[in-house]
C-alpha cells in the first residue's frame, strides 16, 4: 500500500484554546512534513474531572483557527462522546484515512507521561509521535517512555515512509501559557493588567466569544 501525506493530530481539552496550542500547531507545520494539523477537542478527557461544555470548546477552536488554511477542527471525539481515549480516536482515523501516516503532536509534558495512556504501546504503533521541545526545557520521561524514545527516535523524514511507529522531536518557540492560567485570570475581577495579560495568551476572537457567553466567570 502507498503512503499518503502525513496528517498531524493535536488533541487536548482546549478549555480554552490558547496561543500555546496555536504555536505548537504552526511550528509542527513549519518543521515537519505534514499536510495539515487537526485540532481534536476531547469530549471528556480521562485526566480531568470538570470541563466546559464541548460545544463551547469546539467553537472556540473553530474561531481560533479560522484564518489558517492548514488547520482543521476534528469532531471525532466530541461526536463519539463519553470519556475520550486517544487509542479509540486513532482506530477511527485509521479506518477513515487508511493510507496516511498519523502524527500525534504533543508537548514534552504529555510525552513524559505517555505510558499512563490507555493501550499506549498500541498508540505508538498506530501513529507517529512528534514531541515539541520548548526552549531549553529537558524531557524528563518515565523509564518506559525513555526506553521507547531510545528505540524509536527518528528523523522527521521517517514520518513520510511509514504510517506510524516513530518518534520525532522538533523545536518550538516557547509560549508561556496554560489553559489553567487563562481560566484563573478570567475568574479574577476586571483590571487593565488582566486584560493585557489575557490578550497576550488568547486570540482576540476567542476572548470576545468567552466574554459574550460569560464563560469561566467562577
Ligand atoms: P490545562 O492547563 O487545562 O491542563 P493545557 O493548556 O495544558 O490545559 P491541553 O488542552 O491540556 O492544554 O493541551 C493540549 C496539548 O497542548 C498538549 O499536548 C500540551 O502539551 C500542549 N500545550 C499546552 N500548552 C502549551 C504551550 N504553552 N506550549 C506548547 N504546547 C502546549
By the 8 A CB rule, do 202 and 63 touch?
no
Which of 114, 179, 180, 184 most suits a substitution to test ligand 1, by most atoms within 8 Å of the C-beta? 179
By the 8 A CB rule, do 41 and 54 touch?
yes
Residue 106 CA: which ligand 1 atom is closest?
18
Whose C-alpha lies nearest to ligand 1, atom 8?
Answer: 179
Residue 108 CA: which ligand 1 atom is closest?
20
Quote the pLDDT of residue 118.
97
Is residue 51 in contact with ligand 1, taking CB distance under 6 Å? no
Question: Within 10 Å of residue 165's Cβ, how many Cβ atoms?
Answer: 16
Whose C-alpha lies nearest to ligand 1, atom 25?
Answer: 20
Q: 15 φ, ψ to 5°? A: -120, 65
For domain 7-174, which architecture applies?
3-Layer(aba) Sandwich (3.40)
Quote the pLDDT of residue 5.
96
Domain ranges in the chain? 7-174
DSSP string, 121-181: HHHHHHSEEEEEEETTPPP---HHHHHHHHHHB--GGGGGTSSS--EEEEEE------HHH
Q: 122 φ, ψ to 5°? A: -70, -35
Is residue 205 in contact with ligand 1, taking CB distance under 6 Å? no
| 14 closest CA partner among 48, 26, 88, 188 | 48
Is residue 107 in contact with ligand 1, taking CB distance under 6 Å? yes
Contacts of 180 (CB under 8 A, 6+ apart): none
- Alpha-carbon torsion, ordered 71, 73, 74, 75, to 10 deg: 180
pLDDT in tens, the chain (218 residues): 568 999 999 999 999 999 999 999 999 999 999 999 999 999 998 878 789 999 999 999 999 999 999 999 999 999 999 999 999 999 999 999 999 999 999 998 899 999 999 999 999 999 999 999 876 556 678 899 999 999 999 999 999 999 999 999 999 999 999 999 999 999 999 899 999 999 999 999 999 999 999 999 87
Amino acid at each position: 500500500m502507498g503512503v499518503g501525506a502525513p496528517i498531524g493530530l493535536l488533541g487536548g481539552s482546549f478549555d480554552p484554546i490558547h496561543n500555546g496550542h496555536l504555536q505548537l500547531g504552526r511550528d509542527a507545520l513549519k518543521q515537519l512534513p505534514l499536510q495539515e494539523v487537526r485540532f481534536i477537542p476531547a469530549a471528556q478527557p480521562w485526566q480531568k474531572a470538570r470541563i466546559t461544555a464541548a460545544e463551547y470548546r469546539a467553537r472556540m477552536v473553530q474561531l481560533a483557527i479560522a484564518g489558517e488554511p492548514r488547520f482543521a477542527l476534528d469532531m471525532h471525539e466530541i461526536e463519539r462522546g463519553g470519556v475520550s481515549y486517544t487509542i479509540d480516536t486513532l482506530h477511527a482515523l485509521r479506518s477513515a484515512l487508511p493510507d496516511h501516516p498519523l502524527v500525534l503532536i504533543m508537548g514534552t509534558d504529555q510525552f513524559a507521561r505517555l505510558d499512563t495512556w490507555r493501550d499506549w504501546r498500541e498508540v505508538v504503533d498506530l501513529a507517529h509521535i512528534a514531541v515539541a521541545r520548548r526552549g531549553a526545557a529537558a524531557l524528563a520521561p518515565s523509564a518506559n517512555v525513555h526506553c521507547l524514545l531510545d528505540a524509536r527516535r527518528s528523523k522527521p523524514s521517517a514520518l513520510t515512509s511509514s504510517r506510524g511507529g516513530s518518534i520525532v522531536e522538533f523545536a518550538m518557540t516557547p509560549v508561556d501559557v496554560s489553559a489553567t492560567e487563562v481560566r484563573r485570570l478570567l475568574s479574577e475581577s476586571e483590571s487593565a493588567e488582566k486584560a493585557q495579560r489575557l490578550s497576550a495568551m488568547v486570540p482576540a476572537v476567542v476572548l470576545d466569544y468567552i466574554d459574550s457567553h460569560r464563560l469561566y466567570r467562577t
